[in-house]
Structure 1
Amino acid sequence: MPWPFNKRRNAIARIEVSGAIGGKTRKDVLGFLKLVEERKFPALVLRIDSPGGTVGDSQEIYTAFKKLRDKVKIVASFGNISASGGVYIGMGAPHIIANPGTITGSIGVILRGNNIERLLDRVGVSFKVIKSGPYKDILAFDRELTEPEKNILQDLIDVSYRQFVRTVAEARNLTEDAVRAFADGRIFTGEQALDLGVVDRLGTEEDARRWAAELAGLDPEKAKFVDLRSPKPFFSRLVPGSADALMNWTEFELSTNGQPLWMFRP
C-alpha cells in the first residue's frame, strides 16, 4: 500500500546498492529513483556496500543520481566496502559520508580474459576461426593476446580510466592531477578518504539519515526511513545467504568475462 503523501513529505527514502553492480542493479536502482521522484520524497540516502562492477551500469546509475539531486536532497553512505564502481555511483550524490574503517578507493579499471590454450593443447582440442578482421576474436580464450591486441585493450582501459578520474575530480571539486595521485588502484579507509577529499564526513548510516533530514528541512528526530528494495527471487529465498551470494557472484563473473570493470578484485 503506497504511503500517504503527507507521510512521504516527512520521510527519507533509502536505496541500497550491495554486491557487484550489473544489469539487475541498474534496473532496480533506476526504478527506485523513479519512485522517489514520483512520490516526491524530499530526501534520499544511498547506501553503498559494493566492490564495484560493470562500467556502463555504474555510469547509468551515477547519471540518474546526478539528475535527481536537483529535486531531492541526496546523501551517500559508504558501508563496509564502497570501492571502484561503488565510489563512482557515490559521486552522483552531492554529500558523502563513510565509516572510518570503510574500505573504499580502488579507482581504476580492470579487464580479464580466460586463457586455456595449454589445457586445450593437452587434450588435443583446437578451434578453426574465420573472421572479418584481425581483432574480431580479441580476448579469445584459446590463444594468447598479440602485442597489437594488448595495445588496443590498453587504450580502451586508459580511456575508461580518464572518464573515472574526470568524474571524481568534478564531483569532489578536485583537480584531475590530485585525483590521479591516489587513483592508482589502491584501496584506503574512510578516514583516509576524508583526508583526500573523496568523502565529506565520517559517520554511520544513521548519521547519513539525520544529515539528509537536516538538508531537507525535516526534524531528524521524527523523519523516518522508507526502504525501497526489490523482493528476493523465490529460489534465493530457499538457499542460505552465503550460497545465494556465491551463485550471484559466479553468474556475474561468467556474464562479465572480457568486459572492462570498475571493480575491486582482492
Structure 2
Amino acid sequence: MVKMKKHPFILASLTIGGLFLFFLLVVFAAGLLGTGSVVSVGDKIGVLEVEGTIVDSRLLAEQIVTFRNRSNIKAVVVRVDSPGGGVGPSQEIYAELKKLAEEKPLVISMGSVAASGGYYIAVAGERIFANPGTITGSIGVIMSFPNYQDLMGKVGIQTEVVKSGTFKDIGSSTRKFTVADRALLQEMIDDVHLQFVEAISAGRNLPLEKLQPYVDGRIFTGRQALELGLVDELGGFHDAIKYAATVVGIEDEPDLVYPEPVKMDFIDRYLQSAVSHILGVDLGLKTTSGPQYLLHNY
C-alpha cells in the first residue's frame, strides 16, 4: 500500500523532469540556429548589414551597441552594399563601429557598391574584403542646389526674402549664388572632406600625402582599391566570415547572428502597402539633405 501511494509522486517527478529536459533542448536548438534570438548558446559571429542610401543611423547604431554588449558574439562582420549618404549618419555609424572594434574583431565585407559614405563606414574595420568588381572609393563630399529663378521669371513668379543676415538664405532655389556664398560653402565642404580623408588615413594607416591623389571623388574597382591599400583582400562575404571565425578561434562552421527584424504593427503595414500601391509612394523611404558622402547620381 505504501508503494502504491508513491506512484503519483514518481509520475509527477518524471513529468517535471521531462519538461525540464525539453526546455533545455529548446534552448540548445535556439542557440544552434543563431538567428538573433534572445536565448543563445555558444560563441557566434554577428552580422550587420548596411544597404542602400544612408539616411538615418539610429537603428544600425542600436544594433551595433547590442552586438558589442553580447558576450557570446565574439566578432562582427559588416556587409556594406551602399553608395553612401548623409554626412552625419555616416559619421555616427562609423563612430559606433570604432567603439565596437575596440572590444571585438570587426571585419568588413563589400558587396556590389561600398562607395563614399559606404567606404567611410568600412574604414572602421580591422580588415576589409572586397570583390574584384566592387565599386568603391568616391572619396568626396557633394551638395546640390537646384535653381528655378529663370523658370519662375518666365511664368511671372517672384519671391521676396526678409533675412537676418547675409547668408541666411544661402542655397535658395530662387536666386543665384554670390561669390561669398560659394566661398562659404566651399570652405565647409573642404572641412567635411578633410574629416573623411583623416578617417581613412587613420583607419588604413596611410599618410595624407599618399592619399591626396585619390580623394577627388574618383571611383575604383575592388582590385584597384587593393593595389592602393584601400582594402586588404579580395573575397566575398563567406571569406570575411571565415576570417573572423579564425581570428576568434572558432574552428567549426560559425553560427551567425543577425539583428532582430524590425517589427511593424498591422495598421502601419496596411497603410504603407495601400499608399504604395495606390500612389506609388513608399512611406518608409527617407531622404537626406545637406552635405553628403554619396556616389553622385547613384
TM-score by length of structure 2 reads: 0.80
Structure 1's unaligned 5+ residue stretches are none
Per-residue deviation, residues 13-62 of structure 1 (Å, max 9, x unmatched): 11100111112xx1111110121022221111100000001111111111
Name the Cα RMSD after superposition: 2.1
CA contact (8 A) 1:16 1:229 kept: no
1:231 aligned to which of 262, 287, 294:
262
CA distance in 2 between counterparts of 1:264 and 1:227 reads 27
1:247, CA displacement in angstroms? Answer: 7.7
Q: Secondary structure at the match of 1:125?
A: coil
Q: Secondary structure at the match of 1:6?
A: coil
Per-residue deviation, residues 197-255 of structure 1 (Å, max 9, x unmatched): 01111100010111111111112x32121122643762666769xx788983xx42xx4
Give the equivalent residue in structure 2 for 1:32: 63
Q: How does 1:1-266 map to 2 (within 5 A)?
A: 2-7=37-42, 10-23=43-56, 26-40=57-71, 41-219=73-251, 221-228=252-259, 230-231=261-262, 234=269, 248=285, 251-252=286-287, 255-256=288-289, 259-266=290-297
Identity %: 38
CA contact (8 A) 2:130 2:233 kept: yes
1:135, CA displacement in angstroms? Answer: 0.5
CA contact (8 A) 1:5 1:39 kept: no
Per-residue deviation, residues 80-127 of structure 1 (Å, max 9, x unmatched): 000000000111111111001000000001010111111111121111
Shift of the 52–232 alpha-carbon distance from structure 1 to 2, 3 Å rule, reads farther
Per-residue deviation, residues 118-165 of structure 1 (Å, max 9, x unmatched): 111112111111111111000001111101100001101111111111
CA contact (8 A) 1:15 1:229 kept: no
1:2, CA displacement in angstroms? Answer: 3.1
- Higher Rg of the two aligned structures: 2
CA distance in 2 between counterparts of 1:236 and 1:171 reads 40
1:6, CA displacement in angstroms? Answer: 2.7
CA distance in 1 between counterparts of 2:121 and 2:221 reads 18
Q: Which amino acid aligns with 1:15?
A: L
1:171, CA displacement in angstroms? Answer: 0.6
CA contact (8 A) 2:272 2:282 kept: no
CA distance in 2 between counterparts of 1:237 and 1:213 reads 40
Per-residue deviation, residues 57-82 of structure 1 (Å, max 9, x unmatched): 11111111111112111101110000
Give the equivalent residue in structure 1 for 2:33: none
